[in-house]
């Protein structure tokens, strides 16, 4: 029987009612009295020296209230990188300043060098056109290998190189890994590109700054995945506004996928402008601005080697990657290719030697940062592609090769050579589930049927493991994080017995407003409808480190549990007082407090009311009120894992690939709401298969973005996909958080690209072209046809 409420129920997403009926309130929907509008002047060239900016004509345009240039911000701070990475030689990474507005130089197409604030957006835009900027174009730094080789042509002159860092993980493994590869009986080598992606949240970025001259208080309404981090960055690094004078509100946010984790210069501009004008200032990105300036994702060029015994037993994995960080360091850009990538390079395998080298490269392109999966898709794609290639070289079935090398259930906790300690998992069980749900036994018959129609059918497998619930502060601190990564929740019981739960994790599509109440309701034995979630406003919630890295449930959800436990403890004391019994004798079940061995009871609602009408409280022992806060900092990452299978059909005449079926068998630990988990996996699969098949961000050699609109950037559409088979019935609970949950938000995007590419290679090899071992994503018809006819 499916439950109709509480943990494990398929409760419908309550937030969808407002989203689907047009009643959501997004930043751009909120009109403040006296609001003005900002528009940015953006560079048309990728690399250029600003010789002069003449704003005189613009200032005289109708409706114009203020014009800003980089000069106005040259004395405030830069937008910092959140993680300090040290190079192999011990030197710290290069951290050139990322100013609010470009000063001295523009560094990518779309880089903002001036801004106009006017009474209307059209007036601001007209005035932007009237700004006369003299920008001397310089040769663009685009290709990463040439960027590293050529120190004459620099993105940032002051650092003397285009290399941000040269990182080894773990440097102590280097020699042993090199030696193991040298002496191994078999080495599979693969060169691959992890394509650059534009996140394309449905809602473009938008920010409104306001300032109250009476109190000196600022408010920023902005499209953010983590308002507290944005406040911290603006306060402590960029504008120096005291944290207690700045409220950051992220109202309804229409998707982020990583791109809205970060603080952007436009947020600082609207605050500074609001102060100068004493009026609210709004900026909303056009879709073109979103393409040009949202932090992009992925963009790795990688060489990976897998050394094995003749029988396929893994000996070593060595990776060399160039990771594009774009023109400036976005907040997580240095963590993504390193600690979210290198630490996962053992995958689900027991392999004694692993070494990863990552060179991060500045280029004259938009900043690159974490995008759904962040580092883990890159790791998984590299590993699962090279494992597949190895299986083909050794003539071993790809599933058998994987099973042979899996970390086995009796090996946990398992410490990998790249420093993570996996707490639980059962990869064979996932593969069993995948084989069953995908009817893999019937594949050969289906392939024969495809062949009879002149099509090539292929089967591709991928497994994955990811580290999510991005936290423990002590661990991330050792790894270079400049912030802690816990989360917080306040559970406030109102006098009438209903609850407001203030959570640190912002919800922008994930379903927190539904799932967190399920948990609290389950713990209190009351109806979910009595619980409301409050999030996204730094003046209302205790603290939060944001929504990313599949951390909301594992980290913030655990804080909710802890705070609810504290509420129960306190409520028991109140009940004990009401029932005239010692506190330790109070039991609480299904919303009723009772005294052991008696028929004395008092319901939840009466206790809540009593907390606020404490006429007879023994005040020295019992405080009025019923509200508790908990901060939760876990002991480890969580480690979801999965086994994915994809079937494709390739049309040999055109190179067209049809994705016919996709099976995702995941282990997310305990599942709080299966419907939401399915939705998260399906969305992740759409983005992962989208990366494999459709999406690509292309700059030409001058740094012009060729794929700067939906005419040229292929967003996945529903008809690009089959119905997905999603299974999360294989469960090994997380061993260190109270709910036993692992996180599901990124899995689909992490595990799927390799399965798709493996399937296409399988199809082509079955079609007789066995020397074709790799095609870089996205597998567009043109690329597949070219590879087949090379």
Partner 1 sequence: MYNFELVKPKTIDEAVAALADEEAQALSGGQTLLPTMKQRLAAPDRLVSLANIAELQGVSATGGVVTIGAAATHATVAEKAASAYPALAALAGHIGDPAVRNRGTIGGSVANNDPSACYPAAVLGSGATIVTNAREIAADDFFEGMFSTALDEGEIITAVKFPVPEAANYRKFIQPASRFALVGVFVARFADGVRVAVTGASNDGVFRWSEAEKALSGDFSAAALEGLSVASDDMISDIHGTAEYRAHLVKVLTARAVKAAG
List contacts with partner 1 (CB under 8 A).
288, 653-655, 694, 696, 698, 706-707, 710-715, 780-782, 785-786
Q: Which is nearer to partner 1, 314 or 713 (CB)?
A: 713
**Strands of the sheet with 531-534, listed across from one edge:** 531-534, 499-503, 487-493, 627-632
Chain CA centroid to CA 373, Å? 5
Burial class of residue 627 in the structure, from the number of CB atoms within 10 Å of its CB (0-12 exposed, 13-18 middle, 19+ buried): middle
State the nearest-atom distance from the C-beta of 713 to partner 1, in Å.
Answer: 6
Q: Which is nearer to partner 1, 244 or 654 (CB)?
A: 654
Q: Which is nearer to partner 1, 184 or 756 (CB)?
A: 756
State the nearest-atom distance from the C-beta of 710 to partner 1, in Å.
Answer: 6
Q: Which is nearer to partner 1, 422 or 713 (CB)?
A: 713
Q: Which is nearer to partner 1, 3 or 125 (CB)?
A: 125
Q: Which is nearer to partner 1, 370 or 657 (CB)?
A: 657
Distance CA 4, CA 1 (A): 9
Could you tell me which of 472, 654, 451, 536 has the C-alpha nearest to residue 231? 536
State the nearest-atom distance from the C-beta of 99 to partner 1, in Å.
Answer: 27
State the nearest-atom distance from the C-beta of 294 to partner 1, in Å.
Answer: 18
Distance CA 678, CA 688 (A): 15
Q: Which is nearer to partner 1, 14 or 783 (CB)?
A: 783
Characterize the bridge pairing of strands 36-42 and 112-118: antiparallel
State the nearest-atom distance from the C-beta of 122 to partner 1, in Å.
Answer: 8
**Strands of the sheet with 601-603, listed across from one edge:** 586-589, 592-595, 601-603
Distance CA 778, CA 196 (A): 10
State the nearest-atom distance from the C-beta of 291 to partner 1, in Å.
Answer: 12
CA distances in angstroms from 679 to 7, 59, 338, 745, listed in the order given: 17, 50, 29, 9
State the nearest-atom distance from the C-beta of 714 to partner 1, in Å.
Answer: 4
Q: Which is nearer to partner 1, 287 or 596 (CB)?
A: 287
Distance CA 157, CA 572 (A): 65
Neighbour tally for 427: CB within 10 Å: 26
Token couple for 711: 């005419």
**Assign residue 431 a region: left if phi > 0, alpha if psi is -120 to 50, beta otherwise?**
alpha
Q: Which is nearer to partner 1, 100 or 779 (CB)?
A: 779
Q: Does residue 291 have a cis bond before it (omega within 30 degrees)?
A: no
Whether residue 306 contacts residue 174, with contact meaning beta carbons closer than 8 Å, is answered with: no
Token couple for 153: 């042509």
Q: Which is nearer to partner 1, 167 or 283 (CB)?
A: 283
Q: Which is nearer to partner 1, 704 or 735 (CB)?
A: 704
Phi, psi values for residue 482, rounded to 5°: -90, 0
Beta bridge partners of 308: 186, 314
Distance CA 488, CA 486 (A): 7
Q: Which is nearer to partner 1, 200 or 730 (CB)?
A: 200
Neighbour tally for 674: CB within 10 Å: 18
Whether residue 488 contacts residue 543, with contact meaning beta carbons closer than 8 Å, is answered with: yes
Could you tell me which of 202, 206, 198, 201 has the C-alpha nearest to residue 223? 206
Burial class of residue 172 in the structure, from the number of CB atoms within 10 Å of its CB (0-12 exposed, 13-18 middle, 19+ buried): exposed
- Count of all residues that appear for the chain in the document: 790
CA distances in angstroms from 167 to 89, 357, 789, listed in the order given: 9, 6, 38
Distance CA 136, CA 689 (A): 41
State the nearest-atom distance from the C-beta of 455 to partner 1, in Å.
Answer: 14
Radius of gyration of the chain (CA): 27
> What is residue 465's three-state secondary structure?
strand
> Could you tell me the sign of the dihedral formed by the alpha carbons of 743, 745, 747, 750, in that order?
negative
State the nearest-atom distance from the C-beta of 715 to partner 1, in Å.
Answer: 8
Helices (H) and strands (E) in the chain, counts: 19, 28
State the nearest-atom distance from the C-beta of 751 to partner 1, in Å.
Answer: 23
Q: Which is nearer to partner 1, 296 or 512 (CB)?
A: 296
Phi, psi values for residue 14, rounded to 5°: -65, -30
State the nearest-atom distance from the C-beta of 63 to partner 1, in Å.
Answer: 14
Q: Which is nearer to partner 1, 58 or 607 (CB)?
A: 58
State the nearest-atom distance from the C-beta of 692 to partner 1, in Å.
Answer: 13
State the nearest-atom distance from the C-beta of 783 to partner 1, in Å.
Answer: 9
**Strands of the sheet with 724-727, listed across from one edge:** 456-465, 641-650, 657-667, 724-727
Q: Which is nearer to partner 1, 46 or 401 (CB)?
A: 46
State the nearest-atom distance from the C-beta of 654 to partner 1, in Å.
Answer: 6
Chain CA centroid to CA 345, Å? 19
State the nearest-atom distance from the C-beta of 325 to partner 1, in Å.
Answer: 23
State the nearest-atom distance from the C-beta of 718 to partner 1, in Å.
Answer: 12
Whether residue 547 contacts residue 478, with contact meaning beta carbons closer than 8 Å, is answered with: no
Distance CA 176, CA 182 (A): 10
State the nearest-atom distance from the C-beta of 778 to partner 1, in Å.
Answer: 8
Q: Which is nearer to partner 1, 29 or 653 (CB)?
A: 653
Q: Which is nearer to partner 1, 70 or 297 (CB)?
A: 297
């Amino acid at each position: 029987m499916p439950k109709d409420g509480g943990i494990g129920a398929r409760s419908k997403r309550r937030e969808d009612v407002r989203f689907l009926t047009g009643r959501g309130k997004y930043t751009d929907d909120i009109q403040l009295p006296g609001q003005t509008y900002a528009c940015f002047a953006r560079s048309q060239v990728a690399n250029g020296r600003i010789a002069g900016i003449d704003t005189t004509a613009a200032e005289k345009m109708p409706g114009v209230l203020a014009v800003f240039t980089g000069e106005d911000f040259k004395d405030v701070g830069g937008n910092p990188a959140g993680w300090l990475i040290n190079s192999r030689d011990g030197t710290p990474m290069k951290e050139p300043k990322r100013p609010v507005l470009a000063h001295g130089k523009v560094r990518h197409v779309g880089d903002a060098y001036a801004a106009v604030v006017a009474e209307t957006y059209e007036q601001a835009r007209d005035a932007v056109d009237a700004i006369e900027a003299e920008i001397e174009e310089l040769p663009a730094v685009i290709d990463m290998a040439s960027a590293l080789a050529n120190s004459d042509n620099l993105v940032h002159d002051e650092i003397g190189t285009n290399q941000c860092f040269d990182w080894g993980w773990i440097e102590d493994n280097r020699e042993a890994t090199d030696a193991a590869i040298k002496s191994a009986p078999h080495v599979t080598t693969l060169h691959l590109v992890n394509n650059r992606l534009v996140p394309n949240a449905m809602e473009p970025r938008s920010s409104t700054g306001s300032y109250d001259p009476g109190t000196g208080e600022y408010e920023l309404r902005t499209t953010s995945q983590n308002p507290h981090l944005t406040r911290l960055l603006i306060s402590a690094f960029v504008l120096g506004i005291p944290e207690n004078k700045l409220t950051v509100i992220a109202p309804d946010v229409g998707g982020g996928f990583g791109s809205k984790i970060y603080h952007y210069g436009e947020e600082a501009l609207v605050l500074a402008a609001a102060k100068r004008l004493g009026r609210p200032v709004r900026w909303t990105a056009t879709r073109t601005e979103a393409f040009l300036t949202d932090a992009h994702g992925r963009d790795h060029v990688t060489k990976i080697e897998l050394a094995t015994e003749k029988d396929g037993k893994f000996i070593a994995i060595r990776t060399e990657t160039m990771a594009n960080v774009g023109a400036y360091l976005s907040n997580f850009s240095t963590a993504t290719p390193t600690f979210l990538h290198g630490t996962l390079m053992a995958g689900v395998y027991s392999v004694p030697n692993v070494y990863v080298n990552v060179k991060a490269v500045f280029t004259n392109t938009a900043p690159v940062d974490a995008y759904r999966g962040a580092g883990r898709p890159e790791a998984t794609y590299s590993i699962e592609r090279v494992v597949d290639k190895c299986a083909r070289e050794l003539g071993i079935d790809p599933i058998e090769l994987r099973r042979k090398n899996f970390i086995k259930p009796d090996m946990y906790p398992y410490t990998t050579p790249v420093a993570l300690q996996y707490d639980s998992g059962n990869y064979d069980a996932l593969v069993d589930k995948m084989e069953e749900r995908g009817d893999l036994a019937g594949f050969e018959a289906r392939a024969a049927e495809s062949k009879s129609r002149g099509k090539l059918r292929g089967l591709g497998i991928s497994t994955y493991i990811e580290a999510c619930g991005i936290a423990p502060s002590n661990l991330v601190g050792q790894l270079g994080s400049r912030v802690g990564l816990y989360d917080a929740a306040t559970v406030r019981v109102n006098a009438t017995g209903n609850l407001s739960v203030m959570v640190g994790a912002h919800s922008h599509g994930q379903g927190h407003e539904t799932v967190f109440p399920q948990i609290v309701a389950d713990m209190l034995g009351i109806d979910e409808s009595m619980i409301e979630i409050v999030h996204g406003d730094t003046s209302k919630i205790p603290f939060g480190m944001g929504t990313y890295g599949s951390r909301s449930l594992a980290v913030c959800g655990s804080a909710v549990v802890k705070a609810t436990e504290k509420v129960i403890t306190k409520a028991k004391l109140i009940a004990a007082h009401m029932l005239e019994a010692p506190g330790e004798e109070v039991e609480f079940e299904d919303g009723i407090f009772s005294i052991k061995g008696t028929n004395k009871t008092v319901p939840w609602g009466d206790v809540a009311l009593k907390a606020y009408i404490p006429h007879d409280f023994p005040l020295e022992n019992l405080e009025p009120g019923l509200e508790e806060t908990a901060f939760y900092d876990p002991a480890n990452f969580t480690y979801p894992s999965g086994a994915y299978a994809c079937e494709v059909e390739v049309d040999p005449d055109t190179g067209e690939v049809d994705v016919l079926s996709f099976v995702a068998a995941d282990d997310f630990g305990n599942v709080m709401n299966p419907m939401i988990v399915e939705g998260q996996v399906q969305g992740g699969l759409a983005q992962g298969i989208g990366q494999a098949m459709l999406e690509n961000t292309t700059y030409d050699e001058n740094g012009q973005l060729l794929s700067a609109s939906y005419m040229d950037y292929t967003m996945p559409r529903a008809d690009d996909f089959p119905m997905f088979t999603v299974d999360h019935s294989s469960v090994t609970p997380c061993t260190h958080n109270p709910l036993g949950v692992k996180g599901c938000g990124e899995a689909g995007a992490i595990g799927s690209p390799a399965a798709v590419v493996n399937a296409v290679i399988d199809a082509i090899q079955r079609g007789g072209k066995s020397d074709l071992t790799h095609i870089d994503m996205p597998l567009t018809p043109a690329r597949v046809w070219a590879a087949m006819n090379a």
